[in-house]
Chain A
Amino acid sequence: GENVEQHPSTLSVQEGDSAVIKCTYSDSASNYFPWYKQELGKGPQLIIDIRSNVGEKKDQRIAVTLNKTAKHFSLHITETQPEDSAVYFCAASPPNDYKLSFGAGTTVTVRA
Chain B
Amino acid sequence: DVKVTQSSRYLVKRTGEKVFLECVQDMDHENMFWYRQDPGLGLRLIYFSYDVKMKEKGDIPEGYSVSREKKERFSLILESASTNQTSMYLCASSATDRGTEAFFGQGTRLTVV
Contact = CB atoms under 8 A, between A and B. Distances in A.
- Most chain B CB within a 10 A radius of its CB, from A4, A34, A43: A43
Interface stretch (B14-22, B43-51, B66-74, B76-84): B43-51
Interface stretch (A52-60, A62-70, A72-80, A96-104): A96-104
A61 interface: no
Contacts of B35: 102
A104 B90 contact: no
Nearest to A90: B42
B113 interface: no
Given A32-B99, A98-B100, A100-B100, A43 B94 contact: no
A44 B43 contact: yes
A43 B107 contact: yes
A99 B48 contact: yes
A101 B106 CA distance: 19
A102 B106 CA distance: 17
B30 to A, nearest CB: 8
A43 B50 contact: no
A9 interface: yes
Interface string A40-54: 011111100100000
Contacts of B59: 1
Interface of B: 4, 31, 33, 35, 40-45, 48, 50, 58-59, 90, 92, 94, 96, 99-107
Given A49-B101, A105-B40, 20 more contacts: A6-B42, A9-B40, A32-B99, A34-B101, A36-B104, A42-B106, A42-B107, A43-B4, A43-B90, A43-B92, A44-B43, A44-B104, A89-B43, A93-B100, A98-B48, A98-B94, A99-B33, A99-B45, A100-B45, A101-B45
